[in-house]
């Protein structure tokens, strides 16, 4: 199957792109231009060379503001790499990605940089890397504009059911304008991947399919509709809509004309390619669907059922969501994938999107081929029955433990969406699962309800919150019937009442204690009441000290920042209940009923350090806050025993994901340089990071190093194998600066 069968656009981007600009090494440019192993004056990898005529001021001034958190020299170099990404995104996706990785190495906590790296990886067909970067950017910046790209990257990884879940989620449905169109194009492609072409047609019929429209977005929509028709074995209608796409494509962004040429080979012998091209030039409006009121209410009806009863026709009363489609008894095999997501809407909103395209800023790709079409026709996960709980695979990570103590946000879910594989993995495991959260603003019943709304099976007895642990801690330090000044939500106040302590709201009530949890209503007045009570001798307990609070918009001020304000005003330090302190973890252990539990979380400074506080093993998941580089830099009290990509890694072989020496990877240390070599043709990729962490910790601790501990800024990780270097680049651990 060639590239055009996957909806390849004419500029050759994405997987299967053409060979324009290839250098002697066959990778797009002479190999020494990537410069991945060269070191700059600051000790960081130099990245690809930067032309002298590319300067930081070439980057849009509004975009440069996002780099103000960096020192000037670093900000200038990052800006120049971003300029190069914008210049090379179309002509040399691989080199653009190399520049994006170099920028990420220097500014991994800047949302703009992570977004650019995600777009560059997506454009180069590096789907897993794209997912990682786009999700990180979304956690930092918030918003929903990246959802279509995230969903399409899931398709690229052969997970159409996950793409459909994202499209049908509350956030996916809330998209408007071109972003909504992008998401429907992605969803339609995913439904074709899953063997549901009729549902793909209905999904696209929610859009404006008036054939006289022109422009890139209209061309891509018509192209996607043509591909869905072809998948539904309606070849003649597909040809008509490829003509519509070609007529609308005034910017020459799709390969609709090439598709028409290919399809013409199987048409009547009297029909020539010139006839097709002439028809495209002359077409103004070509109707392939009835102009009756359709499901979208836009005057475009669903495909009509002709007198013969077309086997793939769809009833016009079908709901536009594509979830309840009336299909015939005969179905057809899925066709290859239509062109999919671009964030063109971001290009048109430069004031609101950091990657909006100007001549000097990186933009999301225009019509982009999706991943190779997967063969299985798996239904969407939301409609599939949950697997029966079963014993974990013998030798797997989870097989070594009697219970799981699971962090929530960033581990089990991200906002309102499950993390990859979380629901399916947890549903399939027959062992105690306790959800442990530092969030003190919601009661266990509310947390369980949130989990259930995403398809998990959870009861409030499985939830342990820092509010519960703080209330228990309070009851151990004050007499029953005492009063405590509560800074927090009504949920925290109720937890206090349930341990026999009264609730005060003013320092004038002479409370015996102050208990402080997060509430969006906390203000100067309430903080001042707490300060007055603490100065008067009240015991002070904090539910948790997380400095930030994840949200869909990014990282907000967390309870730890509010606690710090009171500490600064009083000179006091609170007793802390939540992670990484022991009380919450001890309560979770007690709730599980076993002693051999595995703590699973995404933050080294709370989840993993909390596991250390009670002597439990832990697994870091890379779906949330902490990154692979953070792992390699972790101090001893924040080092996990295992590291996995996401919760599906619980089913991986335990020895493979345990941090330590790995037989599949040969790691040599010389001075401050770690050199990695793969042993065998198919090494376990999930074992690479555990092996690197083991070696990096030894260097940082001074183990086996005569000169003592090595400064992190001096550590370099490399390989003589280009494929291994590529994996190191994807992990973002080329240097530990």
Q: What is each CA distance from 46 to 39, 99, 206, 734, in whole angstroms?
A: 5, 10, 48, 11
Catalytic residue among 255, 407, 605, 735: 407
Structure tokens that stand for 318 in this block: 């079908």
Residues 328 and 197: beta-carbon distance below 8 Å = no
Among 670, 661, 624, which Cα is nearest to 644's?
A: 624
Q: For residue 375, count CB atoms less than 10 angstroms from its CB and return exposed for 0-12, middle for 13-18, buried for 19 or more.
A: exposed
Structure tokens that stand for 697 in this block: 């910790």
Residues 427 and 389: beta-carbon distance below 8 Å = yes
Helix (H, G, I), strand (E, B) or coil at 573: coil
Q: What are phi and psi of 603, to 5 degrees?
A: -120, 125
409 counts as catalytic: yes
**What residues contact 464, with CB distance under 8 A and at least 6 apart?**
434, 435, 436, 437, 444, 584, 587, 588, 591
Please tell me what DSSP assigns to residue 160: H
Strand 413-414 with 417-418, pairing: antiparallel
Cα–Cα distance, 416 to 405 (Å, whole number): 20
Return the HEC string of 651-665: HCEHHHHECCCCCCE
Catalytic residue among 5, 237, 347, 409: 409
714 counts as catalytic: no
Cα–Cα distance, 630 to 692 (Å, whole number): 12
Q: In the beta sheet, which residues pair with residue 436?
A: 464
Structure tokens that stand for 186 in this block: 């992605």
Cα–Cα distance, 433 to 452 (Å, whole number): 14
Structure tokens that stand for 453 in this block: 């709304």
Residues forming the active site: 407, 409
């Amino acid at each position: 199957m060639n590239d055009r069968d996957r909806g390849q656009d004419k500029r050759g981007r994405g997987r299967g792109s053409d060979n324009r600009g290839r250098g002697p090494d066959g990778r797009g440019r002479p190999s020494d231009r990537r410069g991945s192993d060269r070191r700059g004056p600051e000790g960081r990898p130099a990245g690809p060379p930067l032309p002298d005529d590319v300067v930081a001021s070439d980057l849009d001034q509004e975009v440069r503001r996002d780099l103000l958190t960096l020192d000037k020299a670093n900000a200038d170099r990052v800006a120049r790499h971003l300029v190069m990404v914008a210049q090379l995104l179309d002509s040399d996706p691989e080199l653009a990605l190399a520049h994006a990785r170099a920028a990420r190495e220097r500014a991994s906590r800047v949302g703009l940089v992570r977004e650019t790296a995600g777009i560059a990886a997506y454009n180069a067909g590096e789907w897993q890397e794209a997912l990682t970067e786009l999700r990180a950017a979304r956690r930092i910046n918030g918003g929903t504009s990246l959802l279509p790209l995230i969903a399409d990257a899931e398709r690229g990884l052969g997970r159409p059911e996950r793409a459909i879940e994202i499209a049908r989620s509350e956030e996916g449905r809330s998209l408007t304008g071109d972003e909504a169109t992008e998401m429907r194009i992605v969803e339609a492609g995913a439904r074709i991947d899953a063997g549901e072409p009729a549902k793909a047609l209905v999904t696209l019929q929610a859009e404006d399919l008036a054939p006289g429209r022109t422009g890139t977005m209209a061309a891509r929509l018509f192209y996607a509709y043509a591909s869905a028709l072809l998948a539904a074995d309606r070849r003649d209608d597909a040809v008509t809509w490829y003509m519509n796409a070609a007529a609308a494509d005034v910017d020459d962004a799709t390969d609709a004309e090439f598709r028409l040429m290919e399809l013409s080979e199987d048409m009547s012998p009297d029909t020539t390619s010139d006839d097709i091209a002439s028809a495209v030039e002359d077409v103004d409006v070509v109707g392939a669907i009835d102009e009756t009121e359709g499901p979208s209410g836009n005057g475009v009806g669903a495909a009509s059922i002709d007198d013969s009863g077309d086997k793939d026709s769809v009833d016009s009363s079908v709901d536009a969501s594509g979830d309840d489609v009336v299909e015939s008894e005969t179905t057809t095999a899925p066709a290859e994938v239509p062109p999919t997501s671009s964030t063109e809407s971001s290009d048109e909103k430069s004031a609101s999107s950091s990657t909006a395209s100007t001549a000097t800023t990186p933009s999301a790709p225009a019509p982009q081929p999706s991943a190779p079409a997967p063969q299985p026709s798996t239904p969407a996960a939301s409609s599939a029955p949950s697997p029966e709980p079963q014993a974990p695979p013998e030798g797997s990570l989870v097989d070594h433990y009697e219970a799981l103590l699971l962090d929530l946000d960033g581990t089990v879910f991200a906002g309102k969406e499950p993390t990859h594989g979380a629901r399916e993995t947890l549903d399939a495991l027959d062992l105690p699962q306790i959800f442990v959260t530092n969030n003190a603003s919601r009661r266990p019943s509310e947390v369980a309800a949130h989990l259930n709304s995403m398809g998990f099976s959870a009861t409030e007895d499985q939830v342990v919150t820092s509010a519960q642990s703080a209330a228990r801690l309070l009851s151990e330090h004050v007499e029953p019937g005492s009063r405590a000044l509560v800074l927090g939500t009504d949920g925290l106040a109720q937890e206090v009442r349930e341990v026999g302590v009264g609730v005060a709201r003013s320092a004038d009530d002479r409370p015996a204690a102050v208990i402080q949890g997060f509430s969006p209503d906390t203000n100067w007045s309430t903080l001042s009441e707490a300060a007055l009570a603490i100065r008067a001798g009240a015991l002070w307990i904090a539910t948790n000290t997380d400095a930030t609070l994840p949200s869909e918009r990014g990282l907000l001020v967390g309870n730890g920042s509010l606690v710090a304000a009171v500490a600064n005003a009083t000179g006091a330090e609170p007793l802390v209940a939540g992670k990484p302190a022991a009380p919450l973890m001890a309560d979770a252990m007690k709730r599980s009923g076993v002693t051999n539990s595995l703590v699973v979380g995404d933050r080294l400074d709370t989840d993993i350090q909390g596991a250390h506080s009670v002597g439990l093993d832990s697994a870091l998941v890379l779906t949330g806050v902490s990154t692979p580089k953070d792992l390699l830099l972790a101090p001893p009290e924040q080092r996990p025993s295992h590291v996995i990509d996401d919760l599906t890694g619980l089913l991986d072989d335990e020895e493979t994901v345990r941090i330590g020496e790995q037989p599949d990877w040969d790691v040599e240390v010389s001075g401050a340089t770690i050199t990695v070599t793969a042993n065998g043709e198919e090494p376990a990729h999930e074992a690479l990071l555990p092996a690197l962490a083991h070696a990096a910790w030894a260097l940082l601790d001074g183990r086996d190093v005569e000169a003592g501990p090595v400064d992190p800024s001096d550590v370099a990780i490399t390989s003589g194998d280009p494929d291994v270097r590529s994996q190191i680049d994807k992990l973002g651990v080329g240097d530990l600066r």
